[in-house]
Structure 1
Amino acid sequence: MRKVEVLNYDRQWSTAFEVEAQKLKRVFKDNMIVIFHIGSTSVPGLKAKPIIDILPVVKDIAEVDDYLIEMNALGYEARGENGIRGRRYFQKGHDNRTHHLHFFAKDNKEIIRHLAFRDYLRTHPLEAERYCALKESLAIKHSTDIHAYIEGKNAYVKKVEQKALVWFERFGNLHQHRF
């Protein structure tokens, strides 16, 4: 069972994202449109589990499956859609995960959901503080049960996502994220 650990923000998370993004661009070449750093490690100042979440946007999601050998060589394990239709999910590190990849095709609505949540937390520090407090308390309560930790965040995340999507549509750079 993986230990649930929420750490202080580390500026190196941004660097770790950039390093991995360059590797992915070399693998996926012309199919790659853009790569986003998402999740808690992408929000400056937010405490997080030290796992870098990356959202590559591709032209053709089916082509991602053609690169399993290259992804294995980079240390990734393919997990298919892993519960989200139209996604290709990969994880790096088995017991000590370091990266999660969430590939989506350019027209998938999940992209905006992830970007809205990230950008909302980046621009709403009080919401980020509430989220941080919840994650810290859940990490203490469920230090050896990642599933309980995730379930404990679920209702709060869904509530914030709804606010974030409305905010993103009104104030976010939605036009900037059209592919």
Structure 2
Amino acid sequence: MRNIRVVDYDTQWPLMFEEEKEKFEQIFGDELTAVHHIGSTSVPGLKAKPVIDIMPVVKSIDAVDSCNDALQDIGYEALGEYGIPGRRYFRKGGDDRTRNIHFFEAGSDHIKRHLSFRDYLRNHEEVCKQYGDLKSQLADRFPHDIGGYMEGKDKFIKETERIAIRWCEDDFSI
């Protein structure tokens, strides 16, 4: 059974993101419109599970499906939409996952949601600390139960996303 670990922020996480970003740029070329570091490892100072979340944005989601073999060659497992319509989700590392990849087509509302949440946490230190503390508490409470851990974060994430989207609305561009 997998152990849920929340650790202090690691300054290597942005470098790890950049390494993976370069791989996606090589595979997808002009099909990419952007590659974003998202999730907790993208927020300086935030405690996180040591898994890098990456959100490549593509012109056409069909391009991702045609590159499954290339992604598999660099260690990624394709899981389809995995509960979010329009997404293509990949992970690396199996049970000891090190990367989550969330591909979306340009214009998807999910892009705005992820970036707003990230940017809000980057700019609101107290909310960032609350979220990190919550994740540490949940990891202690549910060390082998990813469902319990995720469910425990759900209300905080949804409430903060709603606030973050309003906060970013005037200045947001994809």
With the length of structure 1 as denominator, give the TM-score of the two structures. 0.96
* Paired position in structure 1 for 2:115: 115
Show the counterpart of 2:153: 153
Secondary structure, aligned partner of 1:9: coil
Query: Is residue 5 from structure 1 mapped to residue 5 from structure 2 by the alignment?
Result: yes
Match of 1:20 in 2: 20
Q: Deviations over 1:101-136 (max 9, x none)?
A: 000000101000000000000000000011011000
Quick one: which amino acid aligns to residue 11 of structure 1? T
Aligned to 1:64: 64
> What displacement does 1:29 show?
1.0
Report the RMSD for the aligned CA atoms in angstroms.
0.7
Pair 1:74-2:74 in alignment? yes
Task: Please state whether the residue corresponding to 1:95 is helix, strand or coil.
Answer: helix
Please state whether the residue corresponding to 2:77 is helix, strand or coil: strand
Using the aligned pairs only, state the percent identity: 49
Shift, 1:89, TM fit: 0.3
Please give the per-residue CA displacement for 1:18-77, whole angstroms capped at 9, x wherever unaligned. Answer: 000000110011211110000000000001000000000000001100111111111000
Which residue number corresponds to residue 33 of structure 2? Answer: 33
Distance 2:62 2:87 in 1: 10
Q: Distance in 1 between matches of 2:77 and 2:147?
A: 19
Q: How many residues align?
A: 174
Amino acid aligned to 2:131: Y
How far apart, CA to CA, are the structure 2 residues paired with 1:45 and 1:163?
A: 21
**Counterpart in 2 of 1:46?**
46
Secondary structure at 2:4 match in 1: coil
